[in-house]
Amino acid sequence: MDRTKSLNDRPRSSSNHSAKTPQVQREKDRCNRNAETSSPRSTLSEVRSSSRRLGISIVIPFYNEEESARVVIEEILSLYPHEEIIAVDDGSTDQTRNIISQFEGVRTVYFEKNQGQSASILAGLSRATKSLCVLLDGDGQNDPADIQNLVRHFHQTQADVVCGYRASRQDNWSRRASSKIANKVRRMIVRDGVRDTGCSLKVFRREAIGCLVPFNGMHRFLPAFFRASGFRIEEVRVNHRPRSLGTSKYTNWERGLRGIYDLIGVRWYLRRHVRPELSNEIHHERNPF
């Protein structure tokens, strides 16, 4: 039985989603900086003024993010009021579920018990109905204004997947150093060709969901699974913001141990992976006489 539940029928919030939160206001000054991407960066005003629907499903996993959940969803709603937004609560023990279930126009999915970020992502993706899927974290460090840039680059390059990478990462020294080492080791072993798989901000075709292997830790290897299934990947530089609300749920030591264990399994899987869809068929009609 599916352990996730929908809160679509919960009471709707009467809050004004388009109101500027302090975090949105702070980001105004940042969004006009030049970014070294293959696509021009959009300002918040350009994103808000665009009436064209992007046709995307935005999936946001949350776990004990009561401090940031409201800010994150209000910011996304103010930028993309016409897009499908799916918020997933991964068995939080604080008020996260109650907060994210109050917003009109947001599909809320939740687990009774914590199952991990990968399970949350898969639960959200399984409910996506648009042709393009978008992932970003619920901690507020990803900049939702970058979504339009990734979607634009997706269409311009006719890629299957566009991954963001954090060129100016706003984390402490130890986290930046451990991430740099982990990315280098991962690229060497699984050969996914992506410089920053830890950046959650990604855009990809909905049909790419079928190539994902459901296990706890899958979210760290999305580009590897996409590439192994023949999907073409592009990268775009994205903004990264300091974490101003809540606390991280991982330590460098925990990430390292899990990463090594998962890396062995993913390497084995990729070496044994087969693609039956590449097969061809020759069919001769049987002579009825």
Report which DSSP code applies to 210: G
Please list the pLDDT of the chain residue by residue as tens digits (289 residues). 444 555 544 444 444 444 444 444 444 444 333 333 334 455 544 544 444 689 999 999 999 999 999 999 999 999 999 999 999 999 999 999 999 999 999 999 999 999 999 999 999 999 999 999 999 999 989 999 999 999 999 999 999 999 999 887 655 566 656 666 666 676 677 777 788 888 899 999 999 999 999 999 899 899 999 999 999 999 999 987 877 665 665 555 566 667 778 888 888 888 888 887 777 888 777 777 6
Q: What are phi and psi of 107, to 5 degrees?
A: -80, 125
pTM: predicted TM-score of the whole model, two decimal places: 0.74
Give me the pLDDT at residue 242, please.
79
| 168: number of Cβ within 10 Å | 11
Give SS3 for 243: coil
Confirm if 240 and 35 have CB atoms less than 8 A apart. Answer: no
Name all domains of the chain by residue range, CATH numbers in brackets: 4-272 (3.90.550.10)
Give Cβ neighbours of residue 63 (< 8 Å, ≥ 6 apart): 89, 90, 91, 92, 96, 114, 117, 120, 138, 249
- pLDDT, residue 269, reads 87
Q: What string of DSSP letters covers 191-245?
A: ----S-TT---EEEEGGGGGG---STTGGGGHHHHHHHTT--EEEEEE-B----S
Q: How many CB atoms lie within 10 A of CB 86?
A: 23
